[in-house]
Each structure stands twice: as C-alpha cells, then as structure tokens.
Homo-oligomer: A and B are copies of this chain.
Amino acid sequence: MKATAKAHTNIALIKYWGKRDESLILPMNNSLSLTLDGFYTETTVEFDDDLTEDVFYLNDEAVSGGEYNRVVSFLDRIRKQADKRRLHAEIRSVNHVPTAAGFASSASGFAALAAAGAKALGLQYSSQELSALTRQGSGSACRSVYGGFVEWEKGTKADGSDSYAVQVTAPGHWDIRVAAAVLSPDAKKVLSREGMKRTVNTSLFYTRWVESIPADLAAIKDGIMRKDFEKVGSIAEANCLRMHATTLAADPPFMYWQSTTLLIMEAVRAMRADGVPAYFTIDAGPNVKVLYLPEDEEAVQQRLRSVPGVQDVIVSKPGQGVTCM
C-alpha cells in the first residue's frame, strides 16, 4: 500500500494549446515534447486504513485548498479503478522544479502521483493507460510518463480513452540540451489556463493554429529521426511563435511575453548569427527555454547569463520516463 515514483518534467516543442474538453482535459491538437532530466518530482503515496482523510505534503509542508483538492480528486480516480473508494492516503511530494524557471511542476507532479498511487494500490497499468490516467490530472503531465521525445495523441473519442502520450521512435540516444533562464522575481505571473481558454474561444487565428499542427509534427519527427538539430529547433521555435501569435488575436488580446523574454529571444538569434545553433521555445508565461547541442553548453550558458533580467540558467539533458522505486 506504499509506493514511490519519480517523474521528470517535459518541455513541449510542438505546443499543447487549447482543450476540446475542459473536465477530461482533452486537447485540440497533438503535441510533442522532450522529457528533461534536470527537473523532477519524487512522490510517495501510502494508503492507510487508519487515515480519515488524505494528507498531502509538498516539500515537507502540508498543503490545503485548491491544490490539495486537485490531488484528492485525482487520487479518487485511482481509488475508483482499484475499487477502494474509502481508503485514504498520505502523499509526500518533493519538487526539484524551480518555479522561477517557469516549468509547470504539475507535469512531473501528476506523473509521479499517478505512478505511485497506482502502484500503491496494486494496479497494473500499461504506459498508455498510465498516460491517459495522468492526463486527467494535468494535460501535459501525460507526456512525462515517457523519456526522450514524446507525442501526446489528442484522440478523437468523447470519453478521452484514446488521448494519451506515446514514445516517439528515435534512432538511439540523442543528447540535445535545454537551458532554462530563471527570470527576476518581478516577472509577473499571467493566467495560463485562462489564456488558453480565451484563445480557443475568441482568437481569430486559433483554427489556423490547429490546422498547422500536422505539418509541424511530421516535420519535427522527421528531424528527430535524422537527428537534424536545426530542423528540430527551427520548427519548435516557429511553433512557439505561432502559438503566442494566437493570443495577440484573442478578444481582448493578451500576451505572455515580457521585455526580458524579448531580450532572450534576441540573444538566441544573435547566437545563431554567430554560428551557434540555438533555438528558443516559450510556454504560457514569460520564461524562455533554449535548445542547443552539448558542445555549445558553455557558450549558451554564458550568453544567457549576460542578458539583463536573467538571474540564473539551469541546463538539462534529455530525461527518462516515470520510474517506481
């Protein structure tokens, strides 16, 4: 009745941007990510007959409120499948995902919670089943079930049973790196869920975004197969810009970028002009992640650290999928 799992976060190279079903967390488009070694969550779930309610500790602090309720609701799904609806658990999570780097810790968090919770109740899941379960906690978390390059297939069924992530077949290991710039704390938070919803509902460009995904996916998968870094990077960068463009055509329009965001984008373009292949990608916030090759690690770190407003740079290699310990 006790299990521990470790899951890494992931960075989307083809963005998940828009839900077709809010409660089941079903996406409008396929997405593709790289799981990252450097950022992870370790979670232990222990079910206990003596507990009268769930207790959730995040980094050794008891959590209540909305975050607690989200974890309990998610555990309810697992309890239901194991037919143990009345059993409560103690959940202990430790996040190694610095929020200032702009990674959603929900991705590694729900992947670890799903794996540990299911194992603690003796449920045997295939990776696809685990991914579909994880998706219901946090959409992009379903990709963290796997290591390396991962595609989240949006699926078409109303019940979401065909909406899960799968491994992208790649010819052996490919060591590409991701640098996350940590912004100054005055970087304001912006509505990520809200923004996604407003874009789906009002952006004049949103349909075109959805239509543009299959071509991006085919091209980036071809790039991954060939280990063509410039192809993978340039498609990821273009996809990110196109995603952010949809917010500018929402009603009312909005944007996630801040001035530091632009300075980093400019630094990345300047590196390319200097012959260093580096590409940026940006999720629903001001933070920037930079893709680069191992031989350029020193140059990329130095360049990014020199950007005003960047406090730190955290680098990562490709990471593994969720593991139970």
Contact = CB atoms under 8 A, between A and B. Distances in A.
B234 A241 contact: no
A245 B244 CA distance: 8
Contacts of A205: 205, 208, 242, 245, 249
A266 B256 CA distance: 11
A241 B259 contact: no
Contacts of A237: 253
Contact of A245 (B248, B252, B258, B259): B248
Given A204-B208, A205-B205, A242-B204, A263 B253 contact: no
A262 B251 CA distance: 19
Contact of A253 (B238, B248, B258): B238
Contacts of A260: 259
A212 B204 contact: yes
Contacts of A263: 259
A262 B253 contact: no
B258 A241 contact: no
Contact of A249 (B208, B251, B258, B266): B208
In the complex, the 3 A-B pairs of residues with the closest C-beta atoms, listed nearest first: A245-B248, A245-B245, A241-B248
